[in-house]
Amino acid sequence: MATKTGEQNLLLPPRASTGQPPAGAVRNWLNKEGSAYAFLSLYALAFIVFIVVPVAAAGLLSFTFFDTIQPPQFTGLRNYIVLLTQDEIFMRYVLPNTIQFAVIVGPGGYGLSFLLAWMLAQLPKLPRTVLALILYSPSMTTGVAMTVVWRTIFSGDQNGYLNSFLLGLNVIQEPVQWLQSPQYLMPIMILVTLWSSMGVGFLAMLAGILEINPEMYEAGSLDGISNRFQEIVHITIPSMKPQMLFGAVMAIVATFQAGAIGVTLSGGNPTPQYAGQLIVNHIEDFGFLRYEMGYAAAVSVALLLMVLFFSRVANRLFASED
């Protein structure tokens, strides 16, 4: 007994008075869990104010009519019904554009990231690092810095680099208005986004491939795996499912986050004949140009649900057993 109290004095700060019972459950909880919540508090505050509240507000506003001047009026499901049945621009342009863009850029960029990461993993460290840096660098340039470059390259007069190049080769006879033509805007948006899609997910997958224990491959070859393709399907991907899933979520988020690209390239919202109009632009169009905040919020909710849906699909594909 004597030794035990001695030990306790070493471990715990000495109590003011001896033998006093802990003052209630709150004190007890504070002692046990208080510091954990103290450490969490800064992040939690920022998380609630700038993520949870805006998402909740979008959810609530989506059931209202709100023009920012009058207080929101509850209108039930009206916004969603209008979105699905009466919004011709949404159904004819925005939704097909978004799906086309997302299906090519999402899985396309993701597949490309994995394939490049896998090839890079077959090289020694120095060339691998240099090449990975080059492939990653476009993803740092998102947004404004690249506008200058792409606008100059795809410029619509004969001074544009692509026009000048193609005129020189006699492929075209007249300069093409690349960024103002409905038929070219979408392919250019896809190309530019794919170009910058080797981001965090790409690095995670590269790290994941490098982490795989080489003995796995040895065991695989004993089990009759004879070519690199079988190796990828049966060893590489199953061994790095967590990284594959992380990469997939990053790819999905990046795809929908990249929505402003059409407006950036063409220089205006709406994009020419709505050719590059994505769901994000539709939200801005209604929210900041027409001040129909309730309707814009309903479109936001639709967008968040789409992201959630695609992430669920990725989850199904790469869920770990444990």
Partner 1 sequence: MQRKRSFWSGGLRDSGINPQGFHPSQLKFYVVLLPLVVFMLLPIIFIFSHAFKPPDELFAYPPRFFVVNPTLKNFTDLFNKMSTSGVPVSRYLFNSVVVTLVTVAASILVSSTAAYALSKKRFKLKQTLFAINTVALMFVPIAVTIPRFLVIQKLGLLDTFAVHILPGLAMPVGLFLIKQFIDGVPNEVVEAAQIDGASDLLIYWQVILPMIVPAVATIAILTFQATWNAADISTLYINTESLKTFAFYLTTLTATTAGANVVAGQGLAAAASLIMFLPNLIIFILLQSQVMSTMSHSGLK
Please pick, from the candidates 21, 43, 71, 224, the single residue that binds partner 1 as defined by CB under 8 A: 43
Q: Residue 71 CA to chain centroid, in angstroms?
A: 33
DSSP state of 72: P
Q: How far is the CB of 180 from partner 1 (least distance, A)?
A: 10
Q: String of b and e for 294-308 (b: at least 16 CB within 10 Å)?
A: bbbbbbbbbbeebbe
Q: How far is the CB of 87 from partner 1 (least distance, A)?
A: 17
Instruction: Tell me the window of 16-24, 39-47, 74-82, 83-91 that interacts with partner 1 (CB under 8 A).
Output: 39-47
Please pick, from the candidates 121, 176, 186, 263, the single residue that binds partner 1 as defined by CB under 8 A: 121
Residues 210-229 that bind partner 1 (CB under 8 A): 210-215, 217-218
Q: Which is nearer to partner 1, 84 or 153 (CB)?
A: 153
With binding defined as CB under 8 A, does residue 253 bind partner 1?
A: yes
Distance CA 291, CA 150 (A): 31
Crossing angle (nearest 10°) for helices 241-257 and 95-121 = 140
Distance CA 27, CA 24 (A): 6
Residues 147-206 that bind partner 1 (CB under 8 A): 147-153, 158-161, 164, 168, 195, 198, 200, 203-204, 206
With binding defined as CB under 8 A, does residue 120 bind partner 1?
A: yes
Q: Which is nearer to partner 1, 20 or 122 (CB)?
A: 122
Q: String of b and e for 133-168 (b: at least 16 CB within 10 Å)?
A: eebbebbeebeeebeeebbebbbbeeebebbeeebe
Binding pattern to partner 1, positions 300-319, x when CB under 8 A? x--xx--xx--x-------x
Q: How far is the CB of 313 from partner 1 (least distance, A)?
A: 12
Contact 147, 154 (CB under 8 A): no
With binding defined as CB under 8 A, does residue 140 bind partner 1?
A: yes
Q: What are phi and psi of 65, to 5 degrees?
A: -105, 125
Instruction: Tell me the window of 20-28, 84-92, 99-107, 146-154 that interacts with partner 1 (CB under 8 A).
Output: 146-154
Half-sphere exposure in the Cβ direction for 181 (13 Å, CA): 12
Number of residues forming the site for partner 1 (CB under 8 A): 111
Contact 250, 199 (CB under 8 A): yes
Q: Which is nearer to partner 1, 31 or 183 (CB)?
A: 31
Q: Residue 9 CA to chain centroid, in angstroms?
A: 52
Q: How far is the CB of 11 from partner 1 (least distance, A)?
A: 7
With binding defined as CB under 8 A, does residue 74 bind partner 1?
A: no
Q: Which is nearer to partner 1, 35 or 273 (CB)?
A: 35
SS3 320: coil
Instruction: Tell me the window of 83-91, 96-104, 125-133, 169-177 that interacts with partner 1 (CB under 8 A).
Output: 125-133
